[in-house]
Amino acid sequence: MKGNRLRILMILFICMALFLAILTACGRNNEIDESYSNYIADPQVYTLTMSAPAFFAPLLREAERYLSRIMYHESGSSFRLELTTYGNYITATPAEWELHRQRFNMLLMSGEPFDLFVVDRHPLWHYARGGLLADIYELIDQDPMVSRDDFFTNVLEGFEYQGRLLSIPPRFGITFVGINSTLPQAFIDRFLEYEAISYMSLLNIYRDLKLAHPGEFDHLVYASLGVLRPNVLLEYAISDFIDADASTVHLTDIGFINFLEAFRFTLGSFTNRYDYVPSLIRSRNFIETQGQRFVFSTVDGGFCTWEALFELDSSPFINYIPITNSSGRIMTYSKVGAHNQILSLAVSSGANQSLAWEFIKSLIRVSSCNEVRTSEMRDALRYMVAPNTINPSIMTEGFAEQAQRAFEQIFYRDSLHGLRLITFIRHDEPGALHRQISNAIARLEGYATMQVMYRPYIPAAIWPIYDDFMDGIITADDAAHRLQNIISLWLIE
């Protein structure tokens, strides 16, 4: 009996010990969770200051949380982003931007600039000449976990100045243009000769169409949306005649004057000469309406370009190809943020640069994920790239897999407005959709290696000249010389 009682007591003791061990472990887990949930109170808090349009706040906060989790679990420390935002849901008004500019410059001149900032009409060339910006290439080179070869270097080169990387985009996009299939076959054949087409070639095709068929196509205007908006196209054209590295301007060149003549012929009748928020509801009715209005249709972004990359069951536009500048660089255009500038981050030279780089890597990570944490961030990403799609990451790893996931989202999930986009795609034969997805990924992989040019910053002083020229008050030669003077002075400020 005593032996049985002893065994029972021992079993009870072991059970109690196990129970206490479980309670202790649970307590430790609760302490970890509680400590993590209050990580901002941790005395080892590493902080960066940042300026950005308010629209990007959800995405930046997600990157903050991501980096904080990594730092906490690796070293028990934490990270906090002191974010200063400006503007409204999509863009800052001129007054809001002016207030931001004054504060930004005041901090800059006082020697206490933001550690990071989203590039938004900031004159990076000027900051770089003053030694105010970090060279992000150096941050990449100092990181043992990555190298330049891990990135789409052709995209990074579009953000260089005198061999230095002044800012870096977490993602990038490609802009495509298609031609209206109802045009005379000679003009369609002319368009089909190109694998990628420059903005000047598009202007020439439109001008020749109008001259060859007077009055017949007056119901069709030049093009829709994106980089072919008048003010955006002018910015790209001006930048083609600027050598930023040498601080020289060549706007009196006959090539630019010829551009201005074709530009006014083509776009002089536009009632809206400046940016506006484009529609993202690219439904069947939307596309058909475009066909009744435009000679060319542009589609912006990375994997949102389903109508440019897939065979549709019916479409008024055909043969979508990338748009380039005069030197063959793909012209990128982001439909988001402050006045449609692409999301790109710059780092101040006086910042904790290694920490800033860790934050940028976190932003690259969260902005390229297909699953996001918050509804606000999901809405931001959706608007930034189109319904239920994600733009390609600036890093090359997993490009095809990311494209595959993005296309699956497009075709197998409801879009923002409840449309199943698969209904637009020709897939009547077995395996046709799979074949189209494979072909689309192959096309994107080819385009992703082309040289890229991002939308440049051009000073606001050009716009009165632009308006006078478009209104016929001054000639192309006069406009070119006035623009030459303004840009030359701006470059040496």
Reported as a pLDDT band with limits 50, 70 and 90, residue 301 is low
Residue 165: its pLDDT value, please?
95
Q: Per-residue pLDDT averaged across 417-437, rounded?
A: 64
Question: What is the CATH number for 184?
Answer: 3.40.190
In a domain, 258, yes or no: yes
Q: Which of 285-294, 344-353, 409-418 has the highest mean pLDDT?
A: 344-353
Please indicate, yes or no, whether residues 205 and 330 belong to a single structural domain of this protein: yes
In a domain, 443, yes or no: no
In a domain, 481, yes or no: yes
In a domain, 8, yes or no: no
Please indicate, yes or no, whether residues 330 and 464 belong to a single structural domain of this protein: yes
Please indicate, yes or no, whether residues 270 and 332 belong to a single structural domain of this protein: yes
Six-digit token pair at 370?
């297909």
Please indicate, yes or no, whether residues 463 and 319 belong to a single structural domain of this protein: yes
Q: Which domain range does residue 62 map to? A: 43-171+339-367
Question: What is the CATH number for 96?
Answer: 3.40.190.10
Reported as a pLDDT band with limits 50, 70 and 90, residue 80 is very high
Total domains, the chain: 2
Other beta carbons within 10 angstroms of residue 450's beta carbon come to 17
Please indicate, yes or no, whether residues 345 and 322 belong to a single structural domain of this protein: no
In a domain, 198, yes or no: yes
Please indicate, yes or no, whether residues 255 and 127 belong to a single structural domain of this protein: no
pLDDT at 87 over 50: yes
Six-digit token pair at 382?
């959706």
Residue 148 per-residue DSSP state: G
In a domain, 56, yes or no: yes
Please indicate, yes or no, whether residues 318 and 344 belong to a single structural domain of this protein: no
Q: What is the pLDDT of residues 192-240, one digit of tens each?
A: 999 999 999 999 999 999 999 998 888 888 887 667 778 888 988 999 9
Is residue 377 within 8 Å of 368, Cβ to Cβ?
no
Residue 110: its pLDDT value, please?
83
Please indicate, yes or no, whether residues 354 and 483 belong to a single structural domain of this protein: no
Please indicate, yes or no, whether residues 280 and 296 belong to a single structural domain of this protein: yes
pLDDT at 381 over 80: no
In a domain, 430, yes or no: no
Taking each helix axis from N to C end, the angle separating 432-447 and 399-412, rounded to the nearest 10 degrees, works out to: 140
Residue 379: its pLDDT value, please?
44
Give this prediction's pTM: 0.78
- List the Cα angle 340/240/297 in 5-degree steps: 50
In a domain, 449, yes or no: no
Query: Could you tell me which residues come within 8 angstroms of residue 57 by beta carbon, excluding any fewer than 6 positions away?
Result: 83, 85
Residue 25: its pLDDT value, please?
37
Please indicate, yes or no, whether residues 136 and 182 belong to a single structural domain of this protein: no
Query: Could you tell me which residues come within 8 angstroms of residue 181 by beta carbon, excluding any fewer than 6 positions away?
Result: 188, 291, 315, 316, 317, 318
Q: Which of 7, 21, 79 is nearest to 45 (CA)?
A: 79
Q: What is the pLDDT of residues 444-454, one digit of tens each?
A: 888 888 888 87
Please indicate, yes or no, whether residues 202 and 86 belong to a single structural domain of this protein: no
Least confident stretch, 162-166, 191-195, 269-273: 269-273
Residue 92: its pLDDT value, please?
62
Concatenated DSSP letters for 104-137? HHHHHHTT---SEEE-SS--HHHHHHTT-B--HH
Torsion sign over Cα 254, 256, 257, 261: positive
Greater confidence (175 vs 64) lies with 64
Reported as a pLDDT band with limits 50, 70 and 90, residue 191 is very high
Greater confidence (14 vs 286) lies with 286
How far apart (Å, rounded) are the C-alpha atoms in residues 13 and 178? Answer: 78
The CA distances from residue 89 to 55, 58, 167, 367, in Å, are 5, 12, 23, 18
Please indicate, yes or no, whether residues 332 and 343 belong to a single structural domain of this protein: no
Query: Could you tell me which residues come within 8 angstroms of residue 70 by beta carbon, excluding any fewer than 6 positions away?
Result: 362
Q: Per-residue pLDDT averaged across 306-310, rounded?
A: 77
